[in-house]
Amino acid sequence: MERERSMKGFLVLMESYWKFSENDEPSRNLPLQGQILGRMIPRCSDPSLSIRQMAIDIIQMTLKIATCMPGEDMTTSSEWVWPLRV
């Protein structure tokens, strides 16, 4: 239960970062991408399906933000990331 709430909170944080950085090019650089991925990848093997799915969603959102270059449309730069699903 605690892990699930933690993952849900982090997912909401990542989605908010994506949403609010759409129009603000300097904020598209997500700090600590490696640490975020390093903490989420082990969650992909969690016994709980919902935690595994949220980990995939967070990884997907991190990669989506990481692939978006300043001056580029945010919707086209990450099309290769979307097929990730449990």
Give mean pLDDT in consecutive 10-residue pieces for the chain, a chain of 86 residues.
Answer: 91 86 63 88 93 92 75 57 58
Any idea where the domains of the chain sit in the sequence? 33-86
For the CA atoms of 26, 80, 49, 51, what is the dihedral angle to 10 degrees? -10
pLDDT at 42: 94
pLDDT at 18: 79
pLDDT at 26: 58
All residues at 6 or more sequence positions from 21 whose CB lies less than 8 Å from its CB, including other chains: 27, 28, 65
